[in-house]
Amino acid sequence: MRQNLKDFATLVSQTLPTIEPIYEFGSFQVSEQMEFADLRPLFPHKQYIGCDLQEGPGVDRILDLHNIDLPSESVGTVLCFDTLEHVEDPRQALKEIHRILQPNGIVIISSLMCFPIHDCPHDYWRFTPEAFKSILKPFSHSFAGFQGVKTFPHTIVGIGFKGDIPSLVEFQKGYDRWQKMGSRSIMNLGINLLPPVLIPIASDLLSLVTRLKRR
């Protein structure tokens, strides 16, 4: 879990109607992030189920995104942060997510574009905002955005709405602030000229400095 993604998850929890039960796919928490990567506190008093392909911290159920062992229309909200790059067939995964979501359910996804290969156990894909729009086509409405340099972003985010789209006024305001946090200052001075492996690190440091300045 990266800080910019936790900031995005916070924005989602505060501005979007996250219906219960909430299922997080890719919830396994590595040892050095066990508290930081826990998103449950962002959704207090809501039924929250962490899912992954292996047992471990943060995992309540073993489920495979290619064939989710859940009844249709049984889930309110799906969170899938920095996981789809490890899924061999992301289109099938989104079809399955669409199937299990309730009529007004939503899915929130993120992935990396500018990032080194990292096997967990395999690393298959890199997505652009247009790619997220494409894999979210099963949904009635969708949103795709990014953080970083527009022509070479480090983070891609997306939302799929299975039913009617809710008011996004407050979300859009927060998204604009979130996007700028990763695109200002050193970004405008040429962060895209850094080696690819350093861009996400520089962006997270920039986000931290920005928050500290606001205190």
CA dihedral over 11, 13, 15, 18, signed as positive or negative: positive
**How many Å apart are CA 170 and CA 132, to the nearest integer?**
22
**For 22-26, 85-89, 148-152, which range has the lowest pLDDT when averaged over its residues?**
148-152
Give the position of tokens 């996250």: 18
User: 13: domain CATH number?
Assistant: 3.40.50.150
First to last CA, the chain: 23
* Count of structural domains, the chain: 1
**How many Å apart are CA 72 and CA 52, to the nearest integer?**
19
pTM: predicted TM-score of the whole model, two decimal places: 0.84
What mean pLDDT is predicted for residues 35-47?
93
Q: Are 48 and 21 in contact (CB under 8 A)?
A: yes
Residue pLDDT, tens place only, 180-196: 987 653 444 345 445 55
Residue pLDDT, tens place only, 72-123: 999 999 999 999 999 999 999 999 999 999 999 999 999 998 877 877 788 8
Q: Are 78 and 6 in contact (CB under 8 A)?
A: no
Which domain does 182 fall in, by range?
Answer: 3-214
